[in-house]
Structure 1
Amino acid sequence: MKFQKVHILLLAIVSKAEAEASTNQPCSAMSEVSSAPLDNMDCGIASSKTVLLFLSLLFWAVGAALAYIGAYLIQRYNQFSIDVQDKVVLAPAIIIIAFSVVMFLFGLLGCCATIRESKFGLSIFFLIIFLIFAAEVAALVLSFLYQNKINPELEKLLNATFSKYDGNDKEIVDNLQSELKCCGVFNYTSWLNTNWSASHPNSVPKSCCINTNGTCNGTLTDLKLLHLNGCETELESIIHRVFYYAMGVILGFAILKFLGMLSVCVIACSNGSRRSGYEPLYA
């Protein structure tokens, strides 16, 4: 009888343990299932923060690159003694430098808002990214249209400068022809319609010579000693090359801005759904 009672008692204990185990198993499975979306959400937040921080650093890097390009363009103008008061000629450099300042300011805002995970800061950052994204798309279209207007204005400026050249004030034209290795506005024959030709027939300035320290004196009797191509083409190629570099940077940055807007949405939605305060960057 005692063994039977002990056996019945053990069976009762085992069956009770099995019942408790079966009751707790759905709860543990449910907790595992519910924790999976949270882990995925945390992974999405961390990835979005990484994208935004990378975007902020690129704001600064691109701003520095654009500032260098704009300064280089102005330096080339000064080197050739081109009148930088001409708004059409100076406009590309001013636009590029203005973009560099904007890039730095927005990079600073994005970095602070991302690390602090400020909902207000991220909202402003999103609005700014969207506006800049739209502006950059418009800038790409306008750049293609604007570059065609540079050529006639540049031609007019060079014609006015070269026509006044008489050999006395030689800094502007001689520097331009020496640096670009060119001669005349369109080619060396452009000098035949200037003040220089009236006082120096059948010759061009010595700065048209390939080797200014040699025997070349600018006469048209031996064209092998002269640069024959015009300065307008060379100067246009420099300006257009700078334009293409700037447009390539703007296009790449516009794509990154689109990814940044998506990242801001991820963080903002996560803040509204399950979290309060701010989450550490490496949480």
Structure 2
Amino acid sequence: MTAGYKDDKEDWQAVCLKYLLFVFNFLFWMGGAAVLGVGVWTLVEKSDYLSLLASSTFAVSAYILILAGSLVVVTGFLGCCAVIREQKSCLSTYFLCLLLIFLIELVAGVLAYVYYQKLSEELKHHLNQTMTENYAQPGKGDITLAVDKLQQDFKCCGSNNSRDWLMSVYISSKPAESRVVPDSCCKTIIPLCGKRDHPSNIYKVEGGCITKLEQFLADHLLIIGAVGIGVACLQKRRRTSVHCD
């Protein structure tokens, strides 16, 4: 009777452990989906502005999140197989993968946080130079498109203000055709609209692009950092909890 009761208890514990692992695996997949989604969303929404940044840290952080999220798909499948087949070696591999993903997500979060601290200084030193020296220059088509999109999306003109364009290589050149600002500064873009820099025509009183791009990137760096570090810590806690069980 005692032996039978013991066997029933062990069977009940095994079933509970299986369900616990399945629930954990589902939560793990959900966290991975969030990480993957944030990584893809960051690159898709901000890919147009990456050429304006001196550092590749922003893109690297997003790529790391995408890598971590992709690993979750594989690791989640491994976890399901381990639970169904009750293979201890497979479970050990599963937990090692969890540790690897934890470290990857943590790195992405830390990178995003560190870059967030340096973002303002980088934009102040780099953005104005990039816009005035590379806009509409040979071989700089990606920067030209990025600047035009930046000025239209954020309703801004120049890095600090519209007067910054007076020092640009493009405005001083013959192809500018006497423009004082690029046409992308105009509230309504028509050919040669940049010849007139009145506030009714261009984004002159709305401010420069540095502060707006900085806020835009900073908000998303905070999201990357929070998702990377937050999900990593949650996964670490769940991993420890399951090991204890």
Fold-level similarity (TM above 0.5)? yes
2:203 to 223, 226, 251: 226
Unaligned runs of 5+ in 2: none
Letter in 1 for 2:61: P
Tell me how far apart the structure 1 counterparts of residues 154 and 7 of structure 2 sit (CA, whole Å).
63
Letter in 2 for 1:110: G
Letter in 1 for 2:127: L
Instruction: Check the 8 A contact 2:109/2:226 in 1, yes or no.
Output: no
Unaligned runs of 5+ in 1: 1-26, 267-283
Tell me which moved more, 96-105 or 85-94.
Answer: 85-94
Report the CA distance between 1:208 and its aligned residue.
1.8
Matched, 1:211 2:180: no
Instruction: Check the 8 A contact 1:56/1:110 in 2, yes or no.
Output: yes
1:116 to 81, 85, 91: 85
Report the CA distance between 1:162 and its aligned residue.
0.8
Q: What is residue 217 of structure 2 aligned with on the other side?
A: 239
Q: 1:57-96 alignment to 2 at 5 Å?
A: 57-80=26-49, 82=51, 87-96=56-65
Q: What is residue 68 of structure 2 aligned with on the other side?
A: 99
Q: 1:1-283 alignment to 2 at 5 Å?
A: 31=2, 35=5, 39=9, 44-80=13-49, 82=51, 87-133=56-102, 136-137=105-106, 139-164=108-133, 165=135, 170-198=144-172, 203-212=180-189, 217=194, 219-222=196-199, 225-226=202-203, 228-250=206-228, 251-266=230-245
Q: Structure 1 94/223 Cα, relative in aligned 2: closer, same or farther at 3 Å?
A: same
- Report SS of the residue matched to 2:158: coil
Letter in 2 for 1:102: L
Deviations 1:204-225 (A, max 9, x none): 2232233336x96563433685
Tell me how far apart the structure 1 counterparts of residues 49 and 112 of structure 2 sit (CA, whole Å).
24
Tell me how far apart the structure 2 counterparts of residues 231 and 249 of structure 1 sit (CA, whole Å).
27
Deviations 1:128-151 (A, max 9, x none): 334544554565444322322344
Report the CA distance between 1:185 and its aligned residue.
1.6
Q: Structure 1 82/145 Cα, relative in aligned 2: closer, same or farther at 3 Å?
A: closer
- Report SS of the residue matched to 1:82: helix
Q: Structure 1 37/249 Cα, relative in aligned 2: closer, same or farther at 3 Å?
A: farther
Letter in 2 for 1:72: W
TM-score by length of 2: 0.71
Tell me which moved more, 177-186 or 164-173.
Answer: 164-173
Tell me how far apart the structure 1 counterparts of residues 35 and 155 of structure 2 sit (CA, whole Å).
27
Tell me how far apart the structure 1 counterparts of residues 166 and 92 of structure 2 sit (CA, whole Å).
64
- Report SS of the residue matched to 1:246: helix
Structure with larger Rg: 1
Report the CA distance between 1:95 and its aligned residue.
1.7
Deviations 1:8-35 (A, max 9, x none): xxxxxxxxxxxxxxxxxxx7xxx59x94
RMSD: 3.9
Report the CA distance between 1:178 and its aligned residue.
1.2
